[in-house]
Amino acid sequence: MPSLDDLLTFIVISRVGGFRAAARRLGLSPSTVSETITRLEAELGVPLIIRTTRSVHLTEAGRALAERLEPVISETRSAIADATSSEGVVRGRLKIQVPGAVMEDILPPIIDGFLQKNPEVRLEILVDDRFTDMIATGCDAGIRYGEHLAQDMIAVPIGPRAQRVALGASPEYLARRGVPAHPRDVLTHECIRMRFASGALTEWEFEQEGETLRLDPTARLIVGTTGWHGALRLAIAGHGLIYTFRNWLEPHFTSGALVPLLEDWCPPFEGPYLYYSSRLTPRPLRAFIDHVAAERAAADRKVAS
């Protein structure tokens, strides 16, 4: 009879799609993972995984085994978590992948409340703007905006129901270059743009009365998304237009350091989602999901009152 550890290793490989990714998630060396699968295949007498230089695929027998094992492994982990928890105390590790925009100001107050309620949970937050596979990075859940969600994931809203972007510039810059009256005027201005770690530039999108404009203005200055604080300071110093989350610019609109532009062309958009696999919900993740739902319900009641 194969050991539970060997079967778990096989399941992790089937989820993340590779030996190295599975090794990272399990805290093992790739050679140990490979030896485990070789041993498991020998015990079962059938090949489970087809290995090539670039990819890993399950055989028909491997797919059938994975489908049968998934609910068993999930239930086993839940049972162990319940057994090691006493009087309703949640224990264990929770790892979440999030974009930098969410980590800046949306997530910290949610995490604060969660950790206060669950002092035995160890939390790791992986900040990643590359839209990499959440499971492949060893995370239990991730946070993304709707357009980047995988179809096979469960998604629940987290944080604000709606957010806005904004376009702004310093009074000095506008006195020198003029105020854009239409989004297309932006194309004639000096612009400060931000680039994701993937290499893609953040898109400048404007919408009004059903008309949507997606612009790709020439940038005088490009800053990585993790350096948005610096980009903001440069905009305040008069080096061009900046387009980003309104909540980041709002304090500077209030102070007068920046002037909001084309506000009628910057409608609200849907807020972020917490997403996770339907196949596995460890107890710390379930506690976090419940906390997020409670926070959302409290926010809705506050708005209603």
Query: What is the topology classification, in CATH, of domain 162-269?
Result: D-Maltodextrin-Binding Protein; domain 2 (3.40.190)
Going residue by residue through the chain (305 aa), what tens digit of pLDDT does each one get?
788 888 888 988 888 888 888 888 888 888 899 999 999 999 999 999 988 766 788 999 999 998 888 877 766 666 666 665 556 788 899 999 999 889 988 999 999 999 999 999 999 999 988 777 777 778 899 999 876 676 678 899 998 889 999 999 999 999 999 999 999 999 999 999 999 888 889 999 999 998 999 999 999 999 999 899 999 999 999 999 999 999 999 999 999 999 999 999 998 999 999 998 877 788 899 999 999 999 888 877 777 76
β-sheet bridge partners, residue 214 = 205
* CATH architecture assigned to 92-156+272-304: 3-Layer(aba) Sandwich (3.40)
What's the pLDDT score for residue 26? Answer: 82
Q: Are 191 and 240 a contacting pair, CB within 8 Å?
A: yes
Taking CA 35 as the corner, what is the angle to CA 30 and CA 41, rounded to the nearest 5 degrees? Answer: 130
> DSSP string covering 200-254, please?
PBPPEEEEETTEEEEE-PPEEEEEEGGGHHHHHHHHHTTS-EEEEEHHHHHHHHH
- Which residue matches tokens 């993972």? 33
The CATH number of the domain covering residues in 4-83? 1.10.10.10
Q: Where are the alpha helices (DSSP H) in the chain?
A: 4-16, 19-26, 30-44, 60-83, 100-105, 107-117, 171-177, 228-236, 246-255, 283-304
Question: Phi first, then psi: what are they for 176, rounded to 5°?
Answer: -85, -40
What's the pLDDT score for residue 82? Answer: 60
What's the pLDDT score for residue 50? Answer: 87
Distance between CA atoms of 157 and 293, rounded to whole angstroms?
Answer: 8
Q: Where are the alpha helices (DSSP H) in 17-59?
A: 19-26, 30-44
pLDDT tens digit string along 238-254?
999 999 999 999 999 99
What's the pLDDT score for residue 146? Answer: 76
What's the pLDDT score for residue 198? Answer: 83
Query: pTM score, two decimals?
Result: 0.69
Please check whether the two domains, 4-83 and 92-156+272-304, share a CATH topology: no
Where are the chain's structural domains? 4-83, 92-156+272-304, 162-269
Q: Are 37 and 10 a contacting pair, CB within 8 Å?
A: yes
What's the pLDDT score for residue 86? Answer: 55
